[in-house]
Amino acid sequence: MYLSLPAWYHKNRDNIYFERVRVMNMNPLNFNAAGNAELSPHRHHREIKNDTPTDIPEQAAPGDSVDINAGTEGVKQEKPDTPRAAASPNGTTTITILSTNDMHAQFKNMPEVSGLVHQLKKENPDAIVVDVGDIAYNPPYSDANHFSPMLEIMNQIGYHIVEPGNHEFQYGAPAMHDEYTSRINADVVCSNIRDKKTGDYLPGVKPYVIKDVEGVKVAFIGTVVPHMATSAHPDVGKDVDKREINDTVRELLPELKAQGAEVIVSLSHHGVGKKADLNLAENVEGINVILTGHDHQFTGEPIVVSKFPTRTYIIEGMSHGKYVMETDITIDNKTREVIAVNMKPWPTSSATVKPDPVVEDIIKNYHSKGGGEIDMNRDDSKPHRDS
């Protein structure tokens, strides 16, 4: 199943070069059976030029599972991503980001998420670990303990940066600070949500952070979908000021560049299926990578938007701890430009992933307390309307 932007979306944008990608909602066991059963690197970058794009649905249906190897006849495979220019004599630097999204308190997968991240960090200690939102879930699963179990687990995993999803606001902005941002051992970034009374950023929240990763200054900007309400929590977001995503990011970019940022990464809780991140990539120049979430889609390879000289790569890692996504960004040491981006989806269901016993103990502790929300047997991996 190949999906691309609708024709109306390209009106007056004839200069856009869009490289399509399969957007998949699938059982990871099917994906593993298609050639990813073991814990080993897989670079799924495929360039497909398309001059007459067809419509993309707002969200792939739950039954749209596909074979990752289907429909590839005649398609040129490029592994790894081919740099647009030759590397300088001074060589290149590759920085690595490990990301999760939409974990929704899927506790039965969290020991494997932690174990996998720690395995990957042993291989690359400088990797930055990020989450793109929605660690909480709807009642009855999370309301008894709110964020507590997931925060203990995430602190054990060792996240560096997190972007709150709309579900992080479901108990109200004050609770998000008191129970989430003040307790997580990570930078919390969200630039388009402000205090409704003062107009300031929320307590404990920054619009962005800049990290020095192997000598490269990498900026991480956080944004969340303005429409936060869900059927279970219809009042989510009513106590905060929600601002337009594109304008917010566009206004921040000069500030980031002035501080020496060489790579721009957007942590965007918007989703590929709802077109918000495609819209961001096509209307805001200078973003290198968008790591996204919210609609539980899976990009088997990056979506690449090439309207501007700086290509933007969009990556989403499904949901519920099924994958840890690795994004490798290669920079030319002389020009300081991004010359390649590769992604590897690491399935937590792989037989080679060793569960983290510390996380197992955290879950057992909460399970012994009761409350109903620590259910190791439930499977919430199917998309739900309250993303």
Three-state helix/strand/coil letters over 269-304: ECCCCCCHHHHHHHHCCCCCEEEECCCCCEECCCEE
Contacts of 276 (CB under 8 A, 6+ apart): 225, 245, 268, 270
Q: How confident is the model at residue 280 (pLDDT cuts 50, 70, 90)?
A: very high
Structure tokens at 183: 């307790």
Task: Look at residue 133 and tell me whether its pLDDT is greater than 80.
Answer: yes
CA–CA distance, 353 with 69 (Å, rounded to integer): 24
Nearest 5°: the CA angle 211, 214, 217 is: 35
For residue 226, give the amino acid letter.
P
CB 228 within 8 A of CB 166: yes
Task: Look at residue 370 and tell me whether its pLDDT is greater than 80.
Answer: no
Q: What is the mean pLDDT of residues 326-352?
A: 95
Instruction: Please report the pLDDT score of residue 121 as a whole number.
Output: 96
Instruction: Please report the pLDDT score of residue 73 as a whole number.
Output: 30
What is the DSSP code string of 107-127?
GGGHHHHHHHHHHHHHH-TT-
Q: What is the mean pLDDT of the chain?
A: 76
CA atoms within 13 A on the CB side of 91: 2
CA–CA distance, 34 with 45 (Å, rounded to integer): 16
Which is nearest to 209 in space by CA: 141, 144, 263?
263
> Is pLDDT larger for residue 18 or for residue 150?
150
Contacts of 238 (CB under 8 A, 6+ apart): none
Please tell me whether residue 356 adopts helix, strand or coil conformation.
Answer: coil
Instruction: Please report the pLDDT score of residue 374 as a whole number.
Output: 55
Burial bucket for residue 249 (CB in 10 Å: 0-12, 13-18, 19+) = buried
pLDDT in tens, 289-298: 999 999 999 9
Instruction: Please report the pLDDT score of residue 42 as a whole number.
Output: 31
**Lowest mean pLDDT segment, chosen from 1-10, 235-244, 249-258, 277-286:** 1-10
Residue matched to tokens 């599972």: 65
CB 350 within 8 A of CB 118: no
Instruction: Please report the pLDDT score of residue 63 as a whole number.
Output: 26
User: 318: which DSSP letter?
Assistant: -
Q: What is the mean pLDDT of residues 339-346?
A: 96
The phi and psi torsions of 43 (rounded to 5 degrees) equal -105, 110
Instruction: Please report the pLDDT score of residue 26 as a whole number.
Output: 30
pLDDT in tens, 73-128: 322 223 445 554 555 567 999 999 999 999 998 888 999 999 999 999 999 999 99
Q: How confident is the model at residue 326 (pLDDT cuts 50, 70, 90)?
A: very high
CA atoms within 13 A on the CB side of 337: 13
Instruction: Please report the pLDDT score of residue 44 as a whole number.
Output: 31
CB 348 within 8 A of CB 113: yes
Task: Look at residue 33 and tell me whether its pLDDT is greater than 80.
Answer: no
CA–CA distance, 131 with 25 (Å, rounded to integer): 19
Q: What is the mean pLDDT of residues 152-159?
A: 96
Instruction: Please report the pLDDT score of residue 31 as a whole number.
Output: 29
Residue matched to tokens 């001074």: 90
Q: What is the mean pLDDT of residues 374-381?
A: 52
Whole-model pTM: value is 0.78
Instruction: Please report the pLDDT score of residue 197 as a whole number.
Output: 87
Q: What is the mean pLDDT of residues 174-191?
A: 92
Q: What is the mean pLDDT of residues 306-315?
A: 95
